[in-house]
Structure 1
Amino acid sequence: MWLRKVLKLLWQSIERRSKEFLRSTSLQGLKYVWNNKLPGWVQLYFVKVFIVAVYVAINLAVNVFHKWQSTPVIIGISPTVTAIQSIPFPAITVCSMNKAKSSIVSTFQNGSLEHAMLQKACNQEFNYTRFSSFRPRLKRNSFANFIFNISHKCDELMVSCEFGQKTLPCTDLFREIYVDEGLCCVFNFLHPYYLYKHSDSTLRDYTSSKGLSDIAVDWNPITGYPKYLPAGYYPRPGLGMGIYNGLKIVLNGLTDEYYCSSTNGQGFKVLLYNSIDQPRLKESGLPIMLGHETNYRIVPNSYEAVPSIRNIDRKTRQCIFSDEQKLLFYKYYTRRNCEAECDAIYFLRLCDCIPYYLPLIYRNATVCHVAHFDCVNRAELGNADGESTECKELCLTGCHDVTYFPNAFSIPIIPFQQDSVSPQGDFFKNFSTDFIVTNLAIVNFYHDENYFRSHVRSSYTGLTEYMSLTGGIMSLMFGFSVVFLAELFYFIFLRSLLQYIQHCSPNRRNRVNMQYSDEN
């Protein structure tokens, strides 16, 4: 019985306060609901209108919230242009498709250690079981040094090099580098001192040689070049637009020395990339045909990120700031560097060694040799099926990055049935027409614009924009505002608290006691 009375009193109190709230609220429509002076159908009409408005507003607000969650970052175009002189000319790696010089490897005996390593260099099937217990006695007897000894060097492959209309020794521009295609030549690569955390036996000095006056400097997509630069430095920046402000190289395919090719034909592979990236040419390399002049018009693309998106989860924004994820071997985070370390971890886990072209993520890790080749071959097949995908899924794109898109086209050096036509250049005078067609290739790399616009990653809908959109919807539907929240807080909590304090105050109790005494 007493519970029913308590509930009745509570309901009456709620009803009384609700009426008072609805009469005085700033929310549109509610003051008509409990106005007894209006006909019942009018009150019912405004009840229905209010319910529909609330339903529509909530659905629209939920849609805005879902868009805020699903699309937190938008990539826009920077309002300012970037000069190509402020970023490096792309790093360029050139690889001969020939993996070994015939004059050297033709003397190898079948079944010998050298012959077994040659089969691996040429990607041929071979049973390495008999070498399973082999251990090199000296460090110089590594598989990487074997590759170096049987491969063409840069001074053999490069006939002529020009950069910015200046003819320079090719050995001052290109240095040997180990990649997944073997020993190749690289231009404008960041110095190992600035790129790697520690050295290993396969690393070479890519940016200096005797007589080279240019000084290696640090560079990364976030901070760019150092503030103070020497007169000549690596990595070289872009000079300007046009073929005469780019890089021109003449390559010699040395087809008489062909022993095995990484493809079905002769020629070269080339890759243009960021100066701090790990090059991977086996899958991404572009072909250079012998007997042709190939032009690569470079289209640079830069990605930047506003600092405010750091507060967004990396999986949601789909990019990583360089200082958010530390790599084991590389000082700078990029997606390719991260994926290269994933591959190194994969081979180390399966074969207890790391292939010579992958980063030596641990100083004491073993570089794969002939004893590991059976396992490496099986691991390469498994890696092609995506067994290291789980690691690479965490290798998101860098929030700050520079990429280069090569727009390529080629023409024959000497047109068909026009042997009387001579290619330009004094160095061609020493070669016959047949030799030029079957061995030489001219390649030009150049920018086609002096400026480009970078892409900027920014918040698609920040907190301010989200509140504005949500508040606009609520206000449009039924006049929702911050004042209404203050009214709601007052009627539900603050007013009840004040009444309770007044009821329990000493003056209130004294007045009640005096009234009780007078009555007695």
Structure 2
Amino acid sequence: MSVQKQVLKTLWQCFERKSKEFLRNTSLQGLKYVWNNELPGWVQFYFAKVFIVAVYVAINLAVNVFHKWQSTPVIIGTSPTLTPIQDIPFPAITVCSMNKAKKSFVASFQNGSVKHAMLQKACNQDFDYARFSSFKPRSKSNTFANFIFNISHKCDEMIVSCKFGQKTLPCTDLFREIFVDEGLCCIFNFLHPYYLYKHSDSTLRDYTSSKGLTDIAVDWNPIEGYPKHLPAGYYPRPGIGIGIYNGLQIVLNGHTDEYYCSSTNGQGFKVLLYNSIDQPRLKESGLPIMLGHETNYRIVPNSYEAVQTIRKIDRKRRQCIFSDEQELIFYKYYTRRNCEAECDALYFIRLCKCIPYHLPLIYRNATVCHIENFDCVNRAELTNVDGESTACKELCLASCHDVTYFPNPFSIPTIPFRHEGVSFQNDYFKNFSADFIINNLAIVNFYHDNDYFRSHVRSSYTGLTEYMSLTGGIMSLMFGFSVVFIGELFYFIFLRSLFDYIQNWCQKRRNRVNIEYVHQAYDN
């Protein structure tokens, strides 16, 4: 027999001896029967097969737990603590007239003129703007935004009566004009531009504080909430209480005799309820308000929070972003809607070298789209050429901390005004005939129906402790695996061998010393 075969045989005998010793003494269930030669062969085979099946099943279950951990790192639960509506702002509300231009103002526009061409854009009508491709405004103030402002109904014309918390207030102290995707609209309880934007925008004007009131603009965000010290009167205003009389009631005048073109197939208004720091998008989400009716919107707040431990999870896996993790160009606070608005602005800049008047002016020197850009803007609105805007929006994940508002779909009845013997609680209606009221006016109530609500909390689905508990439980259930078994493996593979080697080496050294001593004694 060659030396190599002899070495291999010796190693195998050593491995076999140590394996039998390990299996006879291990804490794993069933293995001590596998190498017990005192048992019949079929018993050894039976326990070996049972052990292999148990290991196979345990590994599959443990892999499933790992995949669950990887695919669902965050779970959304319900907060055990109730949040009072006074801790969050009453929703920001935007009201837009479906009429895009006052008939008396635009009736004199001549066909083919610059004003007539801009009017077609305001009314979303098909028009060939090619001959205006080299048009240059006479002054910087001659912008499409100013044109929209001049032809549209102002807030004091649209919103004619306002009550908030049983107090009748001047509507100009509650609403201010703002440009959105539906044109010039009226906005309530929106965060002051100083706190919302990183730099000023000349098209944003704050009419919220007038001479009659001393309301002070304060900062608010979903993470920190309101400042600790608040003035006597401030906005964004928080919720007061429940019921219509503790909410916001507005009377709208549709001015149907002034209708020139509508954003829909009818007359009336659009309304949107949203977060005070969000970019409103009426075209996508606006709800209709019918003239000649009273409409009630019962507010359902929905709040999201996140525990700090999920910061360690990659944002793509947790599918949300903390405000300080992604800085926006124009907005101070990150929200998904603000991020998507900036994506749209970047898309138009790249394609048309300008930004539509209702989108955030992300660069101070950016050009607001005017009539010479309308052909390009129309193409960009219809077709996303290379998917750039969509790709950008895919990175706009939801905010980890957010507040949203929903009008309860089961509590938005529209109550028609009576044709005869009209009697109203609101004194404003006393000055008008029944026909005028039915054709032009609408009442809208926004109110909470509950003093408290529960937040949704994003937390880790399984942390390291939970993962070890789940996998450890599976392994222990299947074949008795434990941390002690790992200690046994380390002992038999490393410590035992090392101890045997040291012991043999010491024994050989003692033997050499004894032999040398005997030889020295014999020589003497």
Structures share fold, TM-score greater than 0.5 = yes
Task: Give the SS at the match of 1:141.
Answer: coil
Residue matched to 1:360:
361
Q: Is the 8 A contact 1:105 1:150 kept in 2?
A: yes
Are positions 1:277 and 2:275 aligned together? no
Residue matched to 1:327:
328
Residue matched to 1:486:
487
Letter in 2 for 1:66: H
Residue-by-residue CA offset, 1:384-426 (whole Å, 9 max, x unaligned):
99662211111111111111111252334423xx412322221
Residue matched to 2:11:
10
Residue matched to 2:149:
148
Select between 231-240 and 106-115 the one with higher mean Cα deviation.
106-115
Q: Is the 8 A contact 1:340 1:358 kept in 2?
A: yes
Letter in 1 for 2:350: R
Residue matched to 1:82:
83
CA distance in 1, matches of 2:178, 2:508: 91
Which runs of structure 2 are paired with 1:83-482 in the superposition (5 Å)? 83-205=84-206, 207-383=208-384, 388-407=389-408, 408-415=411-418, 418-482=419-483
CA distance in 2, matches of 1:391, 1:24: 61
CA distance in 2, matches of 1:387, 1:502: 72
Q: Per the alignment, do residues 207 and 490 of structure 1 end up closer, same or farther by CA in structure 2, a change over 3 Å counting?
A: farther
Q: Is the 8 A contact 1:128 1:370 kept in 2?
A: yes
Letter in 2 for 1:62: V
Select between 495-504 and 200-209 the one with higher mean Cα deviation.
495-504
CA distance in 2, matches of 1:206, 1:517: 108
Residue-by-residue CA offset, 1:182-227 (whole Å, 9 max, x unaligned):
0000000001111111122222225333333111111111111111
Give the superposition deviation at 1:309: 1.3
CA distance in 2, matches of 1:519, 1:357: 106
Residue matched to 1:31:
32
Task: Give the SS at the match of 2:330.
Answer: coil
Give RMSD over aligned pairs: 1.9
Residue-by-residue CA offset, 1:127-180 (whole Å, 9 max, x unaligned):
111211122242211111111111111011111000000000000000001000
Give the superposition deviation at 1:427: 1.2
Task: Give the SS at the match of 1:203.
Answer: coil
Q: Per the alignment, do residues 156 and 135 of structure 1 end up closer, same or farther by CA in structure 2, a change over 3 Å counting?
A: same
Letter in 2 for 1:296: Y
Q: Per the alignment, do residues 77 and 384 of structure 1 end up closer, same or farther by CA in structure 2, a change over 3 Å counting?
A: farther
Letter in 1 for 2:318: R
CA distance in 2, matches of 1:352, 1:320: 30
CA distance in 1, matches of 2:49, 2:516: 50
Letter in 2 for 1:439: N
Task: Give the SS at the match of 1:494.
Answer: helix
Could you list the runs of 5+ residues in structure 2 that have no partner in the other structure? none
Q: Is the 8 A contact 1:319 1:397 kept in 2?
A: yes
CA distance in 2, matches of 1:228, 1:501: 74
CA distance in 1, matches of 2:168, 2:518: 116
Residue matched to 1:60:
61
What is the number of residues matched between the two proteins?
A: 517
Select between 492-501 and 165-174 the one with higher mean Cα deviation.
492-501
Q: Per the alignment, do residues 232 and 485 of structure 1 end up closer, same or farther by CA in structure 2, a change over 3 Å counting?
A: same
Give the superposition deviation at 1:364: 1.6
Q: Is the 8 A contact 1:197 1:331 kept in 2?
A: yes
Letter in 1 for 2:190: F
Could you list the runs of 5+ residues in structure 1 that have no partner in the other structure? none
CA distance in 1, matches of 2:431, 2:452: 39
Residue matched to 1:71:
72
Give the superposition deviation at 1:365: 1.4
Percent sequence identity over aligned pairs: 81
Letter in 1 for 2:413: S
Residue matched to 2:42:
41
Letter in 2 for 1:284: S
Residue-by-residue CA offset, 1:225-272 (whole Å, 9 max, x unaligned):
111111111100000110000000000001111111111111000000
Q: Taking structure 1 as the reference length, what is the TM-score of the superposition?
A: 0.96
Q: Is the 8 A contact 1:97 1:261 kept in 2?
A: yes
Give the superposition deviation at 1:519: 8.3
Q: Is the 8 A contact 1:347 1:376 kept in 2?
A: yes
Q: Is the 8 A contact 2:172 2:207 kept in 1?
A: no
Q: Is the 8 A contact 1:414 1:423 kept in 2?
A: no
CA distance in 1, matches of 2:458, 2:498: 48
Q: Is the 8 A contact 1:191 1:206 kept in 2?
A: no
Q: Is the 8 A contact 1:303 1:399 kept in 2?
A: yes
Q: Is the 8 A contact 1:350 1:375 kept in 2?
A: yes
Task: Give the SS at the match of 2:325.
Answer: coil
Q: Is the 8 A contact 2:172 2:208 kept in 1?
A: no
Give the superposition deviation at 1:363: 1.5
Select between 201-210 and 306-315 the one with higher mean Cα deviation.
201-210
Task: Give the SS at the match of 2:333.
Answer: coil
CA distance in 1, matches of 2:247, 2:491: 72
